[in-house]
Structure 1
């Protein structure tokens, strides 16, 4: 094993292509020998291989040409990036096609690519690989679903142990072509799809046993649901990856879409126009799945099968362990901080002091455990803007966090962390600040409070040498009493805390009384 790793280059560039019923996706990554990788390119083409498939049973000539054009372009992109194409797989449409052999032969002749037609169960396993790489699900019973054009792959699991795995012919394109003939759809057509989906899920045991904590969804239907809900909420995040949607929001959005024609759906904010004709069928599947699984939470995995292909390829090359280790979001934050060359000791000291302050005020201000997690993240990363420049580094910190893929946090939470960290210095939050103004009133108040704690904790380590060895905080009816303890003098720390107490006092509406005491 040691010799194998010694022979490997510092980085390896790999590509994987997923040929689905509706679209073809190509992902290119650069991986290192430490088991990490970064995405270099993610190309998508709407080939619509499933067009007319349910009626004719074959992939039509036009769809074949679209696929060949897309695959030729993707192969050239991979070559330009110096990436080895590690896997090219086809799913439901090619699996079902009566002219499968002819299609594969034509693609091979035109592009040189050999396509591996995988089973629905293999699709589900690849989707699961991606989920477990992106979400911490230890000791939770949860479900995963990847909705494609031709099929849906469903897994029910406890942690990383699969309880139930199945592939069903309930894809968005298949259901649309099979059940919808009117535009807008009629109530009877919608009922037909619901009954079909419900029957299939029940027949195959989906929903038996205990309720699941959440449904984690991937595929175009899922990401478009997130996009529409995000637009409906008036939110603007960098990505829908790890975005969270409530079942009630899916139900309301589905009812609204069902009343619209395809032309009217083109105007729905957050919906990709290329999915306007098939989104309704896909949303029915999501709704029925959440009902059967008895969960109110849908979490979006923006990666899916193509990332699963990359992870599988890395495992085959011994660049990743066969069993993914449990990822800890705190460790991921530290890794991200190190990549930005942050002052780790200062960051951990600020985090420790911030946690002490948080504990003192949490109960009195309804701050919960998840708020505590956001505080930890913002405390650890508050100074990473130094990586770009000292000048305005609080603003650089905001942008670095906002655009980062923080493991374990949703897009909303990432935006909150970025704002909390930003206000550790300089101006307090203002409505004239675009990023702050975009938050809802409750989130604005949370940023003020947690930002005030981080700002104060940063002042308590003004010399960046962990001078404060112990911090005692006591919340009274009138103020917060804070006592700093250290064997050394603490005039600078007292000054730092007092000069940075403004946001805290404003957010909690409590004066801060700070004193210092010598300790052994």
Structure 2
């Protein structure tokens, strides 16, 4: 008789979970993450509470009992979220309001008694470091001189950097709540109030040396003021992207938006699409500061970082615990794309083949079509990701690919570029782009043309690997006045690949006006 063998179930340790709370002058933010070996972490929850901790602080010098009670209620709620998600470690930092309050010690004790949270009060330089850490995690800044501005309710932290080298760090008492309470008392604000507000900001920035030296390529902005600017501009443009994170705004758009806002009273501002109603009273001060920062730093481009200090705190915590390297290699858009594709279990060999063939076709037609390096990168990303919809289902997988890409966190791409990549994947098969398609009609005229051009190339390249087994070893592309001639080389019969090119070259002929001619060559 066989002896019974007891089996011990194999248990796999769950990835660590961390939480970070940023106690700001205007709002509190709580983020809960799970450690992820590819991205460093993935967000499980991101809670925001509009507390107005610094309300009246400039006049009284203390955190009011009412503000303290709102703070405790918000933090108790956040603690329940953290506990429910099983986060093992919690980092809590407080910034300008707690830093300057005469009753800060009493406030910290009250919070600990009510919630058990240990608050660490950080200075402006540490805030700036955390904001910059988040910038490097989300933007490719290695080869440029840039500025970072994190606008809070009580202060603004400003960093000037060249790649990974920080040149200057400045913390100024120019937060949106502070400036509003100090200068804006009319509704809408009077011309004299706006004049004094701008004069004060200009003087403060000049005395701090902001804008001295060479111009910067862009201003990377974080905080509620910046994300609301991004949302309002997105609405003004008629765009509807999944997030304002990495969204790009022109200085002229900030100026025009600000001029419109200053003519409206608070109730009217609350109805503006993209502006959080609870920020309607302080947005003008924050936007005047943004305008002056862009003028002083001599840049025309604002890039929105929707993460900011709380993400920097998570990154710092991961590094401190050895869960993330302290010195990381510069992030790369291609690695981010491939990591995401692998998480969707894509057919790597087929996708790489389509990418290679698409780039060869692109290089042939680009000089005559006004397409450049960035368009080539968008095509590469789409070629690598075009079939990830298989992860959900074969049927309609091109549409599944669109939705997966649209909501992906692809490093190095703006929301607009991610939308273009998603559309390219959407049209690699089946129907050609039509204005009746909801995903296509919302694009600008310029982007619709780009989707048709790059989509035509991707569609043709996908047809060239119809059997998905990389039969084409070499592709020769020749362009004349009327046609694109493709010579396919391989060590076996390529009739299926030739047929795939001929049937999927329809959009290419529509867009570029070239007939597709295919010839095959068998090589031994």
Sort the TM-score into its range (normalised by shorter chain): over 0.9
- Alignment match, 2:173: 169
Deviates more, 1:25-34 or 1:207-216: 25-34
Question: What SS does the aligned partner of 1:465 have?
Answer: coil
1:264 to 265, 268, 290: 268
Find 1:389's aligned residue among 386, 390, 393.
Answer: 393
Of the three residues 467, 470, 473, the one matched with 2:477 is: 473
1:185 aligns with one of 184, 189, 193? 189
Distance 1:457 1:250 in 2: 41
Residue pairs, 1:88-99, within 5 angstroms: 88-99=92-103
Matches within 5 A, 1:12-23: 12-23=16-27
Q: How does 1:95-244 map to 2 (within 5 A)?
A: 95-244=99-248
Q: What 5-or-longer segments of structure 2 have no aligned partner? A: 1-11
Secondary structure of the structure 1 residue equivalent to 2:352: helix
Q: Distance in 2 between matches of 1:84 and 1:487?
A: 57
Q: Is the 8 A contact 1:226 1:245 kept in 2?
A: yes
Is the 8 Å Cα contact of residues 26 and 52 (structure 2) preserved in structure 1?
yes
Given the alignment, which residue of 293, 300, 303 partners 2:304? 300
Q: CA RMSD in A?
A: 1.1
Distance 1:368 1:135 in 2: 21
In structure 2, how many angstroms separate the alpha carbons of the residues matched to 1:408 and 1:464?
Answer: 29
Counterpart mapping for 1:332-481 below 5 A: 332-481=336-485
Q: Distance in 2 between matches of 1:197 and 1:143?
A: 17
CA apart distance, 1:35 = 6.2
Q: Which residue of 2 is the match for residue 3 of structure 1? A: none
Q: Distance in 1 between matches of 2:489 and 2:366?
A: 22
User: What are the superposed Cα offsets for residues 32-55 of structure 1, whole Å, 9 maximum, x if unpaired?
Assistant: 456621100001111101111111
Of 317-326 and 234-243, more deviation after overlay is shown by 317-326
Cα deviation 1:146-205 (Å, max 9, x = unaligned):
000000001111111101111110100000000111111111111111111111111111
Note the alpha carbon deviations across 1:62-83, whole angstroms, 9 max, x for none: 1100000000010011111111
Q: Are the counterparts in 2 of residues 32 and 319 from structure 1 also a CA contact under 8 Å? A: no
Give 1:87's match in structure 2, choosing from 91, 94, 113. Answer: 91
Name stretches of at least 5 consecutive residues in structure 1 with no aligned partner.
1-7
Paired residues in the alignment total 513
The equivalent of 1:38 in structure 2 is 42
Runs (4+) off by over 3 Å: 32-35
Q: Distance in 1 between matches of 2:260 and 2:480?
A: 50
Residues 213 and 231 of structure 1: is their aligned pair in 2 closer, same or farther, counting only changes over 3 Å? same
Q: Secondary structure at the match of 2:166?
A: strand
1:511 aligns with 2:515: yes
Please give the alpha-carbon distance, in whole angstroms, between the structure 1 residues aligned to 2:310 and 2:267: 31
Give the secondary structure class of the aligned counterpart of 1:40.
Answer: strand
Per-residue CA distance 1:466-488 (angstroms, 9 max, x = gap)? 11111111222222122112232
Q: Give 1:9 shift.
A: 4.3
How far off its partner does 1:358 sit?
0.5
Q: CA deviation at 1:354?
A: 0.4
DSSP 3-state at the match of 1:362: helix
TM-score (norm 2): 0.96
Shift of 1:86: 2.4
Partners of 1:501 and 1:35 in 2: how far apart? 37
Deviation at 1:96, TM superposition (A): 0.8
